[in-house]
Copies of this chain bind each other. A is one copy, B any other.
Amino acid sequence: MSERVSSASVTLLDVAKAAGVSLATASRALNGSTRRVRPDLQERVLAAAEALHYSANAQAQAMARGRTNIVGLVLSDVADPYFSSIAAGAIRAAEEEQLVVTMACTFGREERELEYLAALRGQRARAVIIVGSRVQDRGLIDRLGAEVRAFEQAGGRVAFVSQRKIPADTVVVENRGGARALADALCGLGHRRFAVLAGRSDLLTARDRSAGFREGVLRAAGSVDPDDVVYGGFTRDGGYAAMNELLDRGTDATCVFAVNDVMAVGAMAALRDRGVPLPSGMAVAGFDDIATLRDVTPALTTVRLPLEELGAGALAMVVQEPAEQPRVRRVRGEVVLRESTPPLVQREPARA
């Protein structure tokens, strides 16, 4: 039982021999089983494993057992704080379940989700969580739906965060409702004329937030001039560019809603660059409440989303037994009013 370390890797058989037992007994001693092992033998096996630095070959275990403890996480971009927060939540939850997380990023090319899903099926991953924002391309959606079914047929579980098109367990973010509530609150501050930096027109998330916001505004008797809706990237630079375009066009909106926080920050940068005083010259609101951005000035009004919970929630769905009907877990956002959207008083013409 010396500390010799073979150059090749140590197998269970090595451990068994070192402990003077059979392979079967060694396996049972290390993993437990329905069968019991005599304490002294168990002791010896454990000691031998320790001494040899044994580490079970996960591939072989997976094959013998017919299943793995791998969970695939597919998202657009880890460097985006929205996704990385969700990922953190999922990873934390996975660790508690003794699951291993493998991660893949599409970096904006949604069709890669298909490849990754096939790859994860090959890995015999126990489950997959797909967080990318679903696009509108019908063909892509259908193919993804087919891959999802194939994955489930092979015994895997699938959950989405934030989508509505594919029948599968989903954590749905109430983008529409959250944006509506935000619009409501902003109208409550006295704003009536709004602009929207709507992000990519093919991303469902962006569309929902934009639509919900406009609904809310209309309901509160405000208005969004169609010219004041600018599309662009769903990123900081997209927000910056969209804001500039809006200013170039000219607008009489008193408040601009960017469909996520990073865009809002880009918009604020554009406003500053153009010499518009903040927050007095233009109110700005975002969506997500990204932790890293809570200290920008003026502090950003937004809709807080429990991002880590989204990831954790998806993981929870995926470890449960599958239901007959796809489950949907709805998550509400919470409007957080901050300095970037001060009450509007002086600019409204006095009435009454």
Contact = CB atoms under 8 A, between A and B. Distances in A.
A346 B234 CA distance: 43
Contacts of A352: none
Contacts of A9: 121, 124, 153-155
Contact of A91 (B62, B104, B153, B291): B104
B91 A55 contact: no
Interface in A106-137: 107, 118-119, 121-124
Q: Which of A236, A265, A295 is the most central at the interface, judged by chain B CB atoms within 10 Å of its CB?
A: A295
Nearest to A103: B103
Interface stretch (A73-81, A199-207, A245-253, A316-324): A73-81
A58 interface: yes
Number of copies of this protein chain within its complex: 2
A60 B57 contact: no
Contacts of A124: 9, 57-59
B295 A268 contact: yes
Given A5-B150, A295-B269, A297-B296, A123 B58 contact: yes
Interface stretch (A82-90, A211-219, A329-337): A82-90
A250 to B, nearest CB: 24
A7 interface: yes
Interface string A59-77: 1101100001010010001
Contacts of A295: 236, 265-266, 268-269, 296
Given A58-B119, A77-B88, A296-B296, 13 more contacts: A9-B155, A55-B154, A58-B122, A78-B87, A81-B292, A91-B105, A100-B104, A100-B123, A265-B292, A269-B295, A292-B293, A295-B296, A297-B297
- A-B CB proximity, top 4 nearest: A79-B88, A102-B102, A84-B84, A55-B122
